[in-house]
Chain A
Amino acid sequence: MEEALVPDPLLQVEGIHTHIGKHHILQGVSFEVFPGEVTVLLGRNGAGKTTTLRSIMGLLPPSRGRILFKNRAIQNMKPFEIARLGIGFVPEDRGLFNFLTVEENFRVAMLQKNGDTEERMEFILDVFPDLKKFWKSKAGILSGGQKQMLAIARPLVNRNELLLIDEPSKGLAPIIIEHLIEAIHRLKEHAMIILVEQNFYMASKLGNDFHLFDDGRTVHKGQMEKLVRNEELKKKYLGISG
C-alpha cells in the first residue's frame, strides 16, 4: 500500500446502467479492479451483482456508461469477442455442457493451444484432481461440488487474466466450500478474480477488496478485512450480524 507506483486497473466499470426490458436494473455501478487481487461483489439478492457480471461479459450490454478492460472499451462488444480478450465467466448455473464429457468441456473452452497449455492443464488437474478421475465421463453425472470445480476450471485453460465467478458456493455443503476456497486461493496467482458471493464466510476468506451493491448501485467499497469488523455495514447491506 505504500508503493509509489499505483498499478493500472485491469477492469474499470464506470457508471453503467443496464436495462432488462423495461426494468432499470443497474442504476449507476462503478468500480475498479486491480491485478493480483480478488474483488468480491456483495449485496442482497436482486441488488444487481449478477447483472453486473453479465454486463461486463457482454450478455446484457449496458445502456449507459463504460466498461474498460486493460484500457479498452468493451461495453459494446459481443460476448465471444470479450471472451477472446481474456475474460472468463463462470455463471450462477455453472453453464456446463452436461451431455459432453469433462474432456470435451475443456476442449470447447480451449481457444488456442499454445506453449503453456499443457502446463496449465497440469496445474488445473492438480488443483481439481477429481476432474482427472471423471475425465471421460459426461459432465452431467458429476456431483454438485465437482460440477462447480469444472465450471471454474474450464476458463482457466486459456490465458485468461480476469475471471468472473458468480455465486460458486450456491447449494454446496460446507466441506465442499472449504475445498473450493482452497482451490480458488491457488488460482489467485494466475488470474484476477471478481467474485459474487452471498456466503459471507467464503467472501471474507477469499476477498482482498469488496464492493457493496444496493438497489442496482455500488454504494460502498473497501478492504475486506475492514468489512469483517464493520457490523453496521454488514447489517445494513447484507442483513447479517456477528
Chain B
Amino acid sequence: MIAIFLLPILLISPKTYITLTISGLAMGMLLFLVSSGFSLIFGLMSVLNLAHGALFAWGAYLGFTAFSSIDKWTGWGGSSSIFTNMLIFLLSLVAAGIGVAILGVVTERLVIRPVYGSHLFQIFITVGAMIVMEELIRIIWGPNDEPMPVPINFIGSLDLFDVVVSKYPLIAIVIGLILYFIVFTILRTTRLGMIVRAGVENPEMVQVMGHNVYRYFTGVFAAGSALAAIGGGMWATFVKSINPAMGGEVIVFALIVAIIGGLGSMTGSVVGALMVGLSYNYVAYLIPKAALGITMLLLVVILLIRPTGLFPEGT
C-alpha cells in the first residue's frame, strides 16, 4: 500500500515530489486534527456531529482574534525572533483550543445530549447547530473573508539539499505530529485513555464497571473540539485567510478521512488523513481537476474492500 505513494515519483521530478509530499503531509496532519475529533466522538459516543466543521471555523477565528490581540500587545508576530513567532503562534492555538473546548462542552450539553441514540436526529440537530455557529461568526466578526496574520518567520521557504521547501508546512507537520503523539500517549498509557478506548468498544460495559461514561463523553467531545480548533487555526495560517463558511468546506474532507480510516480509530484517522492529503496533492499537480476525484475514488475503493474503514474501533 505504501508503494502506491511512491508511484508518483515516476511521473514527477524528485524535487517537486518532495515539495508535494511535504504539503501533502502537512495537509494530512491538519485533516487528521479535524477528523480525529470527529472519529473519536463517533466511536465513543456514537454521535454524528455535523457541526464539527463549525468548531473548526471557530478555532480559526478565535486563533485570529488571539493572534491579533497578542500581536497588538507584544508585536511578536512581526518580530524577527523565531522564538517569539513560535510563541505567539502556539499561544493563539492554545487560546483557540481552550475556547472551542468550552464551546464544545456547551454544545454537548445543550444540543447533543438530548439526541443520544438517534443518528437521524443528531444529523438534524447538529445541522441546526452548525448554522447557528456559522451565523454567530458572521455576527461577531462580520461576513467577509479576512486575511489571516502569519508570523513573519513562517512565511517563505528553506533551501534544503537544493530543494525549495516552504517553511510553514514543515511547522504544521511537526506540530501535527506532536499533537498526535500526545493524543496517542494519553490513549495508550493513561488510565483515562484506557477507559476511553474501552468505552469506544463497549460503552455499556464501562458503565457497568463503575465509570460515569457521560463525563468521559463530555471530555472527549471537548478534546475533539479542541483538536478541530487547532486544526482550524493552523489551516487558516496555511491558506492565509479565514471565512465564515470554511467549516462547511472542510467537513466533507474530514468525513471522508474519518470513514476511510475507520470511525473510532485514531490510527485510522492518521493513516486516512495522510492518504488523502498526499493523494490530493500529487493528483492536484498532475491533473488539477481530478484532485477531489481521487479522494472520492479512495473512499469508494476502501469502502468496497473494507466497509467499516481501514482500522476497527478502539485502535
A interface residues, Cβ below 8 angstroms from B: 57, 59, 78-80, 83-84, 89, 91, 95, 97-100, 104-105, 107-109, 111, 154-155, 158
Q: 6 tightest A-B contacts by CB?
A: A83-B210, A95-B205, A99-B314, A97-B198, A79-B207, A84-B210
| B177 CB, min distance to chain A CBs, angstroms | 23
Known: A107-B191, A107-B194, A108-B194. A97 touches B205 (CB 8 A): yes
* Closest chain A residue to B314, Cβ basis: A99
| A198 CB, min distance to chain B CBs, angstroms | 22
Which chain A residues border B210 with CB–CB below 8 Å?
A: 80, 83-84, 111, 158
The secondary-structure label for the interface of chain B is helix
B201 adjacent to A98 (CB under 8 Å): yes
| A220 CB, min distance to chain B CBs, angstroms | 29
| A207 CB, min distance to chain B CBs, angstroms | 23
B187-203 CB contacts (< 8 Å) to partner A? 191, 194-195, 197-198, 201-202
A100 adjacent to B197 (CB under 8 Å): yes
B171-213 CB contacts (< 8 Å) to partner A? 191, 194-195, 197-198, 201-202, 204-213
The reply to whether the CB of B312 lies closer than 8 angstroms to some CB of chain A is yes
| B24 CB, min distance to chain A CBs, angstroms | 30
B208 adjacent to A89 (CB under 8 Å): yes
Which chain A residues border B211 with CB–CB below 8 Å?
A: 80, 108
Interface centre among A80, A89, A107 (most CB of B within 10 A): A80
* Closest chain B residue to A98, Cβ basis: B201
Instruction: List 10 other contacts, CB 8 Å, given A105-B198, A107-B191.
Output: A79-B208, A80-B208, A80-B210, A83-B207, A91-B205, A95-B204, A99-B201, A108-B211, A111-B209, A111-B210
Which chain B residues border A80 with CB–CB below 8 Å?
A: 207-213
| Tally of B interface residues using CB under 8 Å | 21
B203-230 CB contacts (< 8 Å) to partner A? 204-213
Interface centre among B205, B206, B211 (most CB of A within 10 A): B205
A104 adjacent to B194 (CB under 8 Å): yes
Which one of B208, B313, B314 contacts A95 once the chains associate, using CB atoms below 8 Å? B208
| B219 CB, min distance to chain A CBs, angstroms | 15
18 example contacts (A-B, Cβ-Cβ < 8 A) are as follows A57-B208, A59-B204, A59-B208, A78-B207, A80-B208, A80-B212, A83-B207, A83-B208, A84-B210, A89-B208, A95-B202, A95-B208, A97-B314, A99-B313, A104-B194, A105-B198, A108-B211, A109-B209
* Closest chain A residue to B195, Cβ basis: A108
Total inter-chain residue pairs, C-beta < 8 Å:
64
* Closest chain A residue to B265, Cβ basis: A99
Which chain B residues border A158 with CB–CB below 8 Å?
A: 210
The reply to whether the CB of B315 lies closer than 8 angstroms to some CB of chain A is yes
Which chain A residues border B197 with CB–CB below 8 Å?
A: 97, 99-100
Contact with A along B255-295 (1 / 0, CB 8 A): 00000000000000000000000000000000000000000
B207 adjacent to A99 (CB under 8 Å): no
* Closest chain B residue to A104, Cβ basis: B194
| B200 CB, min distance to chain A CBs, angstroms | 8
Which chain A residues border B313 with CB–CB below 8 Å?
A: 99
Which chain A residues border B209 with CB–CB below 8 Å?
A: 80, 83, 108-109, 111, 154-155
A108 adjacent to B208 (CB under 8 Å): no
Which chain B residues border A97 with CB–CB below 8 Å?
A: 197-198, 201-202, 205, 314
**In the complex, what distance in Å separates the CA atom of A78 from the CA atom of B313?**
26
| B142 CB, min distance to chain A CBs, angstroms | 46
* Closest chain B residue to A99, Cβ basis: B314
Which one of A59, A99, A109, A111 contacts B312 once the chains associate, using CB atoms below 8 Å? A99
A100 adjacent to B204 (CB under 8 Å): no
| B214 CB, min distance to chain A CBs, angstroms | 9
Which chain B residues border A84 with CB–CB below 8 Å?
A: 210
| B226 CB, min distance to chain A CBs, angstroms | 24
| B122 CB, min distance to chain A CBs, angstroms | 21
| A74 CB, min distance to chain B CBs, angstroms | 14
* Closest chain A residue to B204, Cβ basis: A59
* Closest chain B residue to A103, Cβ basis: B194
Which chain B residues border A91 with CB–CB below 8 Å?
A: 205, 208
**In the complex, what distance in Å separates the CA atom of A62 from the CA atom of B210?**
20
A99 adjacent to B315 (CB under 8 Å): yes
Which chain A residues border B212 with CB–CB below 8 Å?
A: 78, 80
* Closest chain A residue to B206, Cβ basis: A108
* Closest chain B residue to A158, Cβ basis: B210
| B227 CB, min distance to chain A CBs, angstroms | 21
* Closest chain A residue to B191, Cβ basis: A107
**In the complex, what distance in Å separates the CA atom of A89 from the CA atom of B204?**
11
Which chain A residues border B201 with CB–CB below 8 Å?
A: 97-100
Interface centre among A84, A89, A97, A104 (most CB of B within 10 A): A97
**In the complex, what distance in Å separates the CA atom of A111 from the CA atom of B210?**
7
Which chain B residues border A59 with CB–CB below 8 Å?
A: 204, 207-208
Which chain A residues border B191 with CB–CB below 8 Å?
A: 107-108
**In the complex, what distance in Å separates the CA atom of A199 from the CA atom of B197?**
34
**In the complex, what distance in Å separates the CA atom of A80 from the CA atom of B195?**
13
Interface centre among B202, B210, B315 (most CB of A within 10 A): B210
Which chain B residues border A108 with CB–CB below 8 Å?
A: 191, 194-195, 198, 206, 209, 211
